[in-house]
């Protein structure tokens, strides 16, 4: 049978229409794979993690180097602290993406995400810290069978690693008995590497005896580095009340994005002499971009009320400058309590939000930003103390709801559910 080019053209067009949105999406910063859409992706530090990050008005241990460097002036002695997310797992379910089937993304990681040390020096306190504020590790295979629009099998394989690091010194001084100020100067570095392939298998039919296989692969590499100063203030108007404020912004020195895209179509057809013919079409595209993205100004403010020597309440608000064509600032909130069960044990509970910094999706149009998921989380931790050391173990759970437009050239909107849980272990020592 002679080669039926029209069948091939129609099927390839259908493939490109239905599936190559994945390739198009990952070439831009507003990708479904990297979480640039949220700010509170990972809790930092020992005591602060158990208190849902509501720590800006306390910050009197090494984790204060991250949340508010002004607080480290109140540390009673030199201190060293290390924190690890012993296990972190999350799943995002995109409902009814292809042929009534869900697309499920899973991420898991083992991350040492904070190290900090403080020590009195001169009139103030010097500190140094390392914080991992975001870490994504996705390694996934998923197959969609019997897709009605194409009548084929579609297989996705992808690996995505994305980590954001902050490292640098801090210094804090006390102005008087009510005021203290501090400054952390972080070096900021983000590294992402993504490998993504997809394969489409069209079965042979009597009407169309050609076997068609379409394959696409992409490689994305992103590295960016800059500086992130964090300026903090703590005000204690009375003995039991503390107020805190920080302001920060990431400024990039350099950003490098490299994208490589490849695709091939192979079709098998029987010739008039009975021989099999296997013509193929192959294309490749690559580019580099050095455009530096803009980061928002961030203001973190909060209060802590020390009811007595056993009970503490705290609240925090994070206010972010509007980005991604939103018109109002984004606000995240957290509230927490700490209760000393005894001189040896302390229980901490907290709740926080991790809202999306993108506009809500509109129906019946192609949205520029294709995902909006608002996430809510809770934390619990238990600490055990000795005279000069402490060890803590805790858990954080997250639940998110929202919308996504997975197919970028299709106006259909999908419901999205997000689930996440992490266990963290930390230790600190005073000397």
Beta bridge partners of 282: 264
Q: Give the pLDDT mean for 301-312.
A: 96
What digits encode the pLDDT tens for the residues 89-139? 888 888 887 767 788 888 887 778 899 999 999 899 999 999 999 888 888
pLDDT value for 310: 95
Question: Rounded to an integer, what distance in angstroms lies between the CA atom of residue 282 and that of residue 261?
Answer: 11
Query: How far is the C-alpha of 30 from the C-alpha of 309, rounded, in Å?
Result: 47
Neighbours of 367 (CB within 10 A): 20
What pTM was estimated for this model as a whole? 0.85
Residue 411 pLDDT class (50, 70, 90 cuts): low
pLDDT value, residue 305: 98
The pLDDT of residue 101 is 76
Write down the pLDDT at residue 366. 82
CA-to-CA separations, 150 to 14, 145, 153, 210, in angstroms, rounded: 7, 10, 9, 14
Question: Which of these, 398, 406, 397, 396, lies nearest to 372 by C-alpha position?
Answer: 406
Q: What are the boundaries of each domain within the chain?
A: 5-430
Q: Are 425 and 396 in contact (CB under 8 A)?
A: no
Question: How far is CA 424 from each of CA 83, 106, 287, 335, 420, rounded to the nearest angstrom?
Answer: 7, 19, 40, 19, 13
pLDDT given at position 51 = 96
**Closest by CA position to 57, among listed 251, 267, 313, 278:** 313
Least confident of 67-76, 264-273, 284-293: 264-273
pLDDT at 198: 80
Does the structure show a pLDDT above 90 at 247?
yes
What Rg, from alpha-carbon coordinates, does the chain have? 26
Phi-psi region of 280 (alpha: psi -120 to 50; beta: other; left: phi over 0): beta
Question: What is the spatial distance between Cα 187 and Cα 225, in angstroms, rounded to a whole number?
Answer: 7
Please tell me the predicted confidence (pLDDT) of residue 113. Answer: 87
Q: Could you report the per-residue pLDDT of 60-74, keeping only the tens digit for each?
A: 999 999 999 999 999
Q: How confident is the model at residue 378 (pLDDT cuts 50, 70, 90)?
A: very high
* Fold for the domain defined by 5-430: Porin (2.40.160)
State how far the Cα of 267 lies from the Cα of 8, in Å rounded to an integer. 8
Neighbours of 347 (CB within 10 A): 14
Residue 258: how many CB atoms within 10 A of its CB?
14
Arithmetic mean of pLDDT, 179-188: 98
Check pLDDT > 60 for residue 7: no
| Per-residue pLDDT tens over the stretch 328-370 | 999 999 999 999 999 999 999 999 999 999 999 888 888 888 8
- E-strand spans in 145-240? 153-174, 179-202, 211-238
Q: Are 156 and 140 in contact (CB under 8 A)?
A: yes
Question: What pLDDT shows up at residue 186?
Answer: 98
């Amino acid at each position: 049978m002679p080669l039926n080019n029209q069948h091939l053209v129609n099927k390839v067009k259908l493939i490109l229409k239905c599936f190559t949105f994945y390739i198009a999406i990952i070439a831009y910063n507003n990708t479904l794979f990297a979480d640039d859409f949220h700010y509170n992706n990972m809790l930092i530090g020992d005591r602060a993690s158990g208190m849902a990050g509501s720590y800006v008005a306390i910050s009197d241990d090494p984790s204060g180097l991250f949340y508010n460097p002004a607080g480290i002036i109140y540390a009673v002695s030199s201190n060293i602290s290390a924190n690890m997310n012993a296990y972190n797992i999350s799943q995002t379910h995109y409902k009814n993406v292809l042929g009534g089937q869900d697309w499920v993304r899973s991420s898991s990681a083992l991350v040492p995400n904070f190290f900090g040390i403080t020590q009195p020096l001169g009139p103030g306190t010097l500190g140094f810290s390392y914080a991992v504020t975001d870490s994504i590790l996705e390694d996934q295979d998923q197959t969609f069978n019997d897709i009605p629009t194409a009548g084929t099998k579609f297989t996705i394989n992808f690996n995505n690693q994305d980590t954001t690091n902050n490292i640098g010194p801090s210094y804090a001084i006390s102005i008087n008995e009510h005021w203290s100020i501090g400054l952390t100067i972080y070096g900021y570095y983000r590294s992402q590497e993504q490998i993504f392939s997809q394969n489409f298998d069209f079965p042979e039919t009597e009407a169309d005896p050609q076997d068609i296989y379409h394959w696409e692969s992409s490689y994305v590499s992103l590295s960016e580095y800059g500086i992130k100063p964090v300026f903090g203030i703590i005000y204690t108007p009375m003995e039991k009340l503390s107020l805190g404020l920080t302001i920060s912004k990431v400024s990039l020195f350099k950003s490098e994005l490299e994208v490589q895209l490849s695709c091939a179509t192979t079709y098998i057809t029987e010739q008039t002499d009975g021989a099999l013919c296997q013509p193929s079409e192959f294309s490749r595209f690559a580019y580099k971009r050095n455009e530096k993205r803009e980061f928002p100004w961030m203001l973190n403010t909060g209060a802590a009320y020390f009811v007595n020597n056993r009970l503490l309440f705290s609240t925090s608000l994070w206010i972010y400058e509007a980005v991604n064509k939103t018109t109002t600032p984004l606000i995240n909130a957290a509230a927490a309590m700490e209760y000393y069960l005894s001189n040896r044990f302390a229980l901490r509970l907290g709740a926080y939000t991790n809202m999306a910094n993108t506009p809500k999706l509109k129906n019946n149009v192609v949205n520029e930003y294709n995902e909006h998921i608002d996430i809510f989380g809770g934390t619990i931790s238990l600490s055990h103390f000795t005279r000069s050391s402490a060890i803590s173990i805790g858990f954080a759970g997250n639940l998110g709801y929202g919308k996504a437009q997975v197919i970028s050239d299709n106006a259909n909107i999908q419901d999205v559910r997000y689930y996440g849980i992490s266990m963290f272990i930390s230790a600190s020592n005073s000397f």
